[in-house]
Amino acid sequence: MNYIEQLPDSARRDQISTLHKEKQDWITQQKKGFLRYRTPCEILQAFPAEHVDCTDDTVVIGDPAEITPQEQKQIISALEGFIPWRKGPFSIFGTEIDTEWQSQRKWKRLLPKLPELKGKIVADIGCSNGYYMFRMTPYRPDLVIGLEPSIQHYYCFKGLNAMARQDNLHIDLLGVEHLPLFPECFDVLFLMGIIYHRSSPVDTLRDVFTSLAGGGTLILESQAIPGDPPTALFPEKTYAKVPGTYFVPTGSCLQNWLRRAGFSDIELFCQHPMSSIEQRRTDWMQFESYSDFIDPDNPQKTVEGYPAPHRVFIIARKK
């Protein structure tokens, strides 16, 4: 079933449907850039899995006993089509995908504050390949919508979920900027790894606030700089080599943004320095990673000389 029909009446269904259709028409063109990811996705769609387990660190889709050695080769080749793999780990019919990020570490940090998901409508904004969406399924949400504008991540999730067949998970090629089409829609919204990429972070948080239903909960995770004053770093060009990074706040600055956007019951429940244990080069992601972003002579600084990143986790509510 199309997720749009399952949204509350407050959703701007007509506009979402129009956009959804426009995006689908756009990516179904026979262009090389689209085919590069569509083809592996279509190959994976031929392998619905019997055994699926999203309860542990590695999301397991399929058991090796379910396929022939020939089919396994086909699956591995399709999975390689999605390199670089950023979020995971996954195990696909016995193929272990060691992703750049050890995403289970982030999931474990937020678990103590995970809101009730059972029967809820949930959004994961910037959901990447859906690792966290899969991790939500044991908590039995009614509907999880991942907004993700990257075609690579979109098709990767589509391929994974064609095998995993979790009917309550959906992805659309939309971004955080489309949240105004979803007023009062979500019981729980995850905004992780996004806010420092926004040039107007408080406006984004206002849009998030509007998209939450009354009593809804936001789980916000962000890169941050260490320190107590409510300030934000604004890098000249890149931060830790990442372009498109605007404001990197301290934890208290981020809490002030949330207050000004209308949130209540704001609690920063975890803060930790980033490290190459959590983000590193692997066989499935062979480009530069965390250790290349940090000053080799001073791990407290990025290569640009800015304070090295922390990560903060905040829970906040809409009354």
Ligand X SMILES: C[S@@+](CC[C@H](N)C(=O)[O-])C[C@H]1O[C@@H](n2cnc3c(N)ncnc32)[C@H](O)[C@@H]1O
Footprint of ligand X on this chain (CB under 6 A)? 87, 103, 125-126, 128, 147-150, 153, 175-177, 192-194
**Tokens, residue 159:** 């391929």
- φ, ψ for residue 218, nearest 5 deg: -105, 130
Q: CA-based Rg of the chain, rounded to a whole angstrom?
A: 19
**CB nearer to ligand X: pick between 103 and 161:** 103
**CB nearer to ligand X: pick between 222 and 250:** 222
Please, what is the minimum distance in Å from the beta carbon of residue 302 to ligand X?
A: 16
Residues with Cβ < 8 Å from 108, sequence gap 6 or more? none
Strands 59-61 and 52-53 come out as antiparallel
Written in H, E and C, the secondary structure of 208-252 is HHHHEEEEEEEEEEEEECCCCCCCEECCCCCECCECCCCCEECHH
Please, what is the minimum distance in Å from the beta carbon of residue 148 to ligand X?
A: 6
Please, what is the minimum distance in Å from the beta carbon of residue 262 to ligand X?
A: 21
**CB nearer to ligand X: pick between 109 and 301:** 109
**CB nearer to ligand X: pick between 94 and 149:** 149
Give the number of other Cβ atoms within 10 Å of residue 250's Cβ: 22
Angle at 243 between CA 289 and CA 25, to 5 degrees: 100
**CB nearer to ligand X: pick between 47 and 190:** 190
Please, what is the minimum distance in Å from the beta carbon of residue 73 to ligand X?
A: 29
Please, what is the minimum distance in Å from the beta carbon of residue 136 to ligand X?
A: 13
Q: Which of 47, 28, 48 is nearest to 38 (CA)?
A: 28
H-run or E-run covering 188: strand 186-192
**CB nearer to ligand X: pick between 119 and 244:** 244
Please, what is the minimum distance in Å from the beta carbon of residue 152 to ligand X?
A: 8
Contact indicator for 278, 314 with CB cutoff of 8 Å: no
